[in-house]
């Protein structure tokens, strides 16, 4: 019977842990990179328009009417709208539909400033695993994150091990005779 060697077990855990998290972690890394650049890549998230108005005067009825007037947004009622994002400092309100379409409207008139497909919400749901299913988020992506934390810890241990060994050699080495 072999004895328990922490160095060997650490390496084995590190090796097999990296295999276990390879696919979910690849998804997290790739989507994370896209999310880091979402303000720079219009493909991910549409750039925000600006107006000179900083006090909202547009009514909810005007917002809905403008949203309904954009065919690609497919808005028939408030049920088709996921959220409104009011940005008074930029003079606009973003209307995000359940189909991930983003309409940017003027806060004063409700006029359409921009209409574009918004991918950042989809990428975020891929990033946290909820796009696949809530159970995948909790039973695949969460454990993968815990394993990645363990890989970081074992990796730091493996990185520091040679330094520790050298320090021990210096401490144990006989001092030169004077």
Query: What is the per-residue pLDDT across 18-52, written as a single tens digit (0 to 9) for each?
Result: 888 888 889 999 999 999 999 999 999 888 898 88
Lookup result for tokens 């005779």: 177
DSSP state of 174: P
For residues 77 and 58, membership in a common domain is answered with yes
Phi, psi (5° rounding) for residue 19? -70, -40
Domain extent at residue 22 = 10-44+125-160
Residue 30's pLDDT is: 93
Question: Can you give the CATH number for the domain in which 106 is found?
Answer: 2.40.10
For residues 136 and 88, membership in a common domain is answered with no
Query: What is the per-residue pLDDT across 63-110, written as a single tens digit (0 to 9) for each?
Result: 999 999 999 999 999 999 999 999 999 999 999 999 999 999 999 999
For residue 32, tell me if it sits in a domain: yes
Q: How confident is the model at residue 12 (pLDDT cuts 50, 70, 90)?
A: confident
For residues 96 and 61, membership in a common domain is answered with yes
Residue 125: is it exposed, middle or buried by C-beta count within 10 angstroms (0-12/13-18/19+)? middle
Query: What is the per-residue pLDDT across 140-161, written as a single tens digit (0 to 9) for each?
Result: 899 999 988 988 888 888 888 8
Cβ distance 44 to 120 under 8 Å? yes
Phi, psi (5° rounding) for residue 83? -165, 160
Cβ distance 39 to 45 under 8 Å? yes
For every residue of 63-87, which 3-state class applies, written as one string? HHHHHHCCHHHCCCCHHHEEEEEEE
What is the tally of structural domains in the chain? 2
Residue 174's pLDDT is: 66
For residue 176, tell me if it sits in a domain: no
Residue 2's pLDDT is: 64
Sign of CA dihedral 158, 163, 168, 169: positive
Query: What is the per-residue pLDDT across 51-64, written as a single tens digit (0 to 9) for each?
Result: 888 888 999 999 99
């Amino acid at each position: 019977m072999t004895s328990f060697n922490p160095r060997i077990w650490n390496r084995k855990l590190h090796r097999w842990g990296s295999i276990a998290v390879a696919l979910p972690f690849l998804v997290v890394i790739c989507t994370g990179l896209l999310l880091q650049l979402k303000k720079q890549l219009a493909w991910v998230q549409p750039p925000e328009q600006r107006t000179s108005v900083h006090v909202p005067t547009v009514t909810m009825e005007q917002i809905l009417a403008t949203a309904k007037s954009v065919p690609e947004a497919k808005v028939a009622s408030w049920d088709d709208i996921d959220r409104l994002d009011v940005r008074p400092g930029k003079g606009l309100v973003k209307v995000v539909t359940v189909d991930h379409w983003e309409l940017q409207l003027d806060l004063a008139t409700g006029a359409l400033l921009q209409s574009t497909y918004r991918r950042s919400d989809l990428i975020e749901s891929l990033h946290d695993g909820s796009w696949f299913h809530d159970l995948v988020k909790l039973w695949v992506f969460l454990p993968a994150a815990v394993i990645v934390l363990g890989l970081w810890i074992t990796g730091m241990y493996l990185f520091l091990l040679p330094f520790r060994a050298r320090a021990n050699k210096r401490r144990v080495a006989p001092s030169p005779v004077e």
